[in-house]
Structure 1
Amino acid sequence: MDRIKAIEVFVAVVDNGSLTRAAERLDVTPAMVGKVLAQLETHLGVQLIRRTTRQQSLTDAGRRFYEECRRVLEQLSWAEASVTDLQAQGQATLRISCATTLGQCLIAPALAGFQQEHPNVRLVLELSNSHVNPVEEGFDLLLRVGALDPDLDLVAIRLGDYRMALCASPEYLAVHGTPEHVEHLVSHRCLGNLVWNRRSTWNLLIGEAPQPWPDAIFLSNDGPALRQVALAGGGILLQPEMLVEEDIASGRLIPLLEDYLPASRPIHALYRRDRFPLAKVSSLVDYLRRTLRSTLQD
């Protein structure tokens, strides 16, 4: 039995929903598809697909085998593409889940650069600060900020550090004055992020002692929206440095209390602990490490 061919047949049956449609796609007879599928199940010693006269469904073993087979075929496609200049090469899809602000400010433009080197790779970027299971949700790569769960069964590659900035507009400071110490913030109009919770909040520091962010006069679940409020003179902002660094460089926002900023947090690229990591994932991680090194160094 040609195992690669058998895997291609099995994946085609699952993707197309029936033996008949898989046969049409592969340009073989339904009988041949059924024969190859039966040989594969005999070889593995498990049933992969439950079949009735009206429908088919994957068994638990079939569902897991399908996910691994899809990755094997994608890996094979990538390997073939890496040694050929044919226009049809490298039609792999790379699905990435990234923390929202990190993705908006840094990763999205970096991915554009990666795609210039790999123009036939299809990229899907989803931005979310929620917990994501890469296996269940089909992501090839996660990009996250903060300490890692010690029980996390993923490969973690540190890309750099995520730093915060405290700032306000010149107009705000002209009206309300410039705080000289963390304790002065309680008398100022502070902007707050609704996404922060007890586990993910950012505290200012006096020495090593954490100082909670004061009660906010304006709250939003979106960092760029808070940036706009700060630019309009609405208050003092604590947000990722990458979100406001151009505003600070141009003078639109003025940095404050730099000796009391929160400690930086690590940025990690996370992917499945496979025996043979997908080449497309390794290529992207290497690219991000190379191109973001100067931006994310502490």
Structure 2
Amino acid sequence: MSDMLDGVTTFVRVVETGSFALAAERMHLTRSAVGKVIVRLEKRLGVRLLNRTTRSQSLTEDGQAYYDRCVRALAELEAAEADLDSGRREPKGRLRVSVPQAFGHHCVAPVLMGLARQHPQLKIDISITDRFVDVIEEGFDLVVRVGPLADSTSLAARSLGVQHASIGASPAYLARHGTPRNVEDLRGHTVVAYLRAGAAQPWDVVDTDGQIRRAQVQPQLGFDDMQGIVDAALAGFGLAWLPSWLLARYERSGELVTVMENCFRPSQEIHVVWPKSRYLALKTRCAIDALVAEIPAMLDAAES
């Protein structure tokens, strides 16, 4: 029975990924091992499930019928595990999470570390990257995203709040160059840019009259990493675009000063997303609940 289920799981993964090599990578197996499982499964069933060429693969008619039933059977097994899981007091197992760099370091990781302390049987792997990850293809249980969500019928999401952005600088920089009061005053200042796909993001700023205007600034220095921008601002290099919650932390220590508060548009929504499923594992539900309970207060702290 165990070998039978292993074969079924591997077969479904091969179909879902569209590749023996990708299925092997996701399952931490060799391509040869995956191929052997499929061959044994076809031999046991007495039918060919997949048409294979050197470049592609496709389901046979028998393979499609078998795949449809395997998916339903695995869903029932998932439901059974979820029912057992819901009866446990303690979440357990491995939870794979992907989070953005600055927000992940300062906000998400502390919440998940607290969760790990509460539940010793819970193993949490945190990938900290600003790269847009494919939740399902890369096998993540949870992903935190800053910015608009791409439409997806395969993902569920819950809001963690809204990230506003402000302009900040070190007291030393402002003492040398003065404090700008409006968008026009930004002209001529040294600024640190946030890079996305190699391009500096424009400064669309709410002016003193409430109108949104694009600041005429020419960044001399740019980073695709928020901590790099913070470090440059702390070193007195210039004005910096920073998430308001992050700037507030350095303002409390006196290392940075808010020059124009919550002035960038558009603001960015923050969500936690996960693969849709009829049954949500206890480990995933506990992590979602912890993030929803704690993250909004961290964002609101910048407003107080």
Gaps of 5+ in 1: 23-33, 51-57
Match of 1:268 among 266, 271, 285: 271
Indicate conservation of the 8 Å contact 1:106/1:242, yes or no: no
Instruction: Give the drift of 1:130.
Output: 2.6
- Which residue matches 2:289? 286
- Which residue matches 2:238? 235
The superposition leaves residues 115-152 of structure 1 with CA deviations (integer Å, 9 ceiling, x where unpaired) of 12222121111122233221211111111011223456
Instruction: Give the drift of 1:228.
Output: 1.4
In the TM superposition, what are the counterparts of 1:45-84 in structure 2 within 5 Å? 47=49, 80=84, 83=87
Instruction: Give the drift of 1:65.
Output: 9.2
Indicate conservation of the 8 Å contact 1:167/1:237, yes or no: yes
Q: Note closer, same or farther for the CA distance 1:254–1:124 as it changes in structure 2 (3 Å cut).
A: same
Indicate conservation of the 8 Å contact 1:158/1:266, yes or no: yes
In the TM superposition, what are the counterparts of 1:98-247 in structure 2 within 5 Å? 98-151=99-152, 153-195=154-196, 203-206=204-207, 207-212=210-215, 214-247=217-250
Instruction: Give the drift of 1:154.
Output: 1.6
Indicate conservation of the 8 Å contact 2:189/2:239, yes or no: yes
1:7 and 2:5 correspond:
yes
Instruction: Give the drift of 1:108.
Output: 1.0
Does the residue aligned with 1:246 lie in a helix, a strand or coil?
helix
Query: Structure 2: how far apart are the matches of 1:202 and 1:261?
Result: 7
- TM score, norm. by length of structure 1: 0.73
Q: Note closer, same or farther for the CA distance 1:246–1:199 as it changes in structure 2 (3 Å cut).
A: closer
Gaps of 5+ in 2: 12-23
Instruction: Give the drift of 1:227.
Output: 1.1
Q: Note closer, same or farther for the CA distance 1:259–1:285 as it changes in structure 2 (3 Å cut).
A: closer
Query: Structure 2: how far apart are the matches of 1:152 and 1:203?
Result: 32
- Which residue matches 1:31? none
1:138 alignment partner AA: G
Q: Note closer, same or farther for the CA distance 1:283–1:48 as it changes in structure 2 (3 Å cut).
A: farther
2:162 alignment partner AA: D
Query: Structure 2: how far apart are the matches of 1:209 and 1:195?
Result: 21
1:182 alignment partner AA: V
1:166 alignment partner AA: I
Does the residue aligned with 1:256 lie in a helix, a strand or coil?
strand
Indicate conservation of the 8 Å contact 2:82/2:282, yes or no: yes
Of 77-86 and 155-164, deviating more is 77-86
Indicate conservation of the 8 Å contact 2:160/2:271, yes or no: yes
Query: Structure 2: how far apart are the matches of 1:265 and 1:12?
Result: 39
Indicate conservation of the 8 Å contact 1:79/1:279, yes or no: no
Match of 2:256 among 234, 253, 256: 253
Instruction: Give the drift of 1:268.
Output: 0.7
Instruction: Give the drift of 1:84.
Output: 5.3
Count of equivalent residues: 272
Query: Structure 2: how far apart are the matches of 1:176 and 1:149?
Result: 41
Match of 1:90 among 79, 89, 92: 92
Instruction: Give the drift of 1:103.
Output: 0.8
Query: Structure 2: how far apart are the matches of 1:133 and 1:76?
Result: 27
Query: Structure 1: how far apart are the matches of 2:9 and 2:240?
Result: 51
The superposition leaves residues 270-289 of structure 1 with CA deviations (integer Å, 9 ceiling, x where unpaired) of 11122223332222111110
- TM score, norm. by length of structure 2: 0.71
2:5 alignment partner AA: I
